[in-house]
């Protein structure tokens, strides 16, 4: 389904507005993240993906979210410090968002509409977005960032 996220705006973790149109021509891996989740160690492999593929046009974008088990209760400052200190995260992190419910961020409304498998069900669910800003893949939390299935999809989109 063609539903571009190019017209969505978000705030970075330090509050700077950022339009998704700035990512035109890039492949995006959008992930709702949390610091106190069983999947939190995925930060390490998300960073490894970012390091390996950034020069080829991949952006990994982390969106802290406290919607699931209250596993991201901290402030943006604490979240950023945790990610940098514990996992050496250098990929962009954004302002805390709601991935579901009545306060769902417009980004997640578009992502879930474009990849209709219902609401985001837990932390570290991943959306793969092509260079045109269209969702081309959705991966549940248990699909690790270094899984062959996800790496093949990323490499395929980067090659287009």
Q: Which residues are catalytic?
A: 37
Strands 17-19 and 135-139: unpaired
What is the greatest pairwise CA distance in the chain? 39
Spatial distance between the Cα atoms of 100 and 102, rounded to a whole number of angstroms: 7
What angle (nearest 5°) sits at the alpha carbon of residue 102, between those of residues 126 and 125?
Answer: 10
What is the torsional sign of CA 104, 110, 111, 114? positive
Give the containing element (helix H, strand E) for 14: none
Give the containing element (helix H, strand E) for 46: helix 42-53
């Amino acid at each position: 389904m063609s539903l571009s996220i190019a017209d969505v705006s978000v705030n970075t973790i330090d509050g700077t507005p950022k339009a998704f149109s700035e990512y035109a021509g890039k492949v995006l891996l959008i992930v709702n993240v949390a610091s106190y989740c069983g999947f939190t160690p995925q930060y390490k492999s998300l960073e490894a993906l970012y390091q390996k593929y950034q020069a080829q046009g991949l952006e990994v974008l982390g969106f802290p979210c406290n919607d699931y088990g209250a596993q991201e209760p901290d402030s943006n400052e604490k979240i950023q410090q945790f990610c940098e200190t514990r996992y050496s995260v250098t990929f962009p992190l954004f302002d805390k968002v709601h991935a579901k419910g009545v306060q769902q961020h417009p980004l997640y409304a578009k992502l879930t509409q474009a990849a209709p498998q219902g609401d985001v069900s837990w932390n570290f669910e991943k959306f793969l977005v092509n260079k045109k800003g269209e969702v081309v893949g959705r991966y549940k939390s248990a699909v690790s960032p270094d899984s062959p299935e996800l790496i093949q999809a990323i490499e395929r989109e980067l090659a287009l």
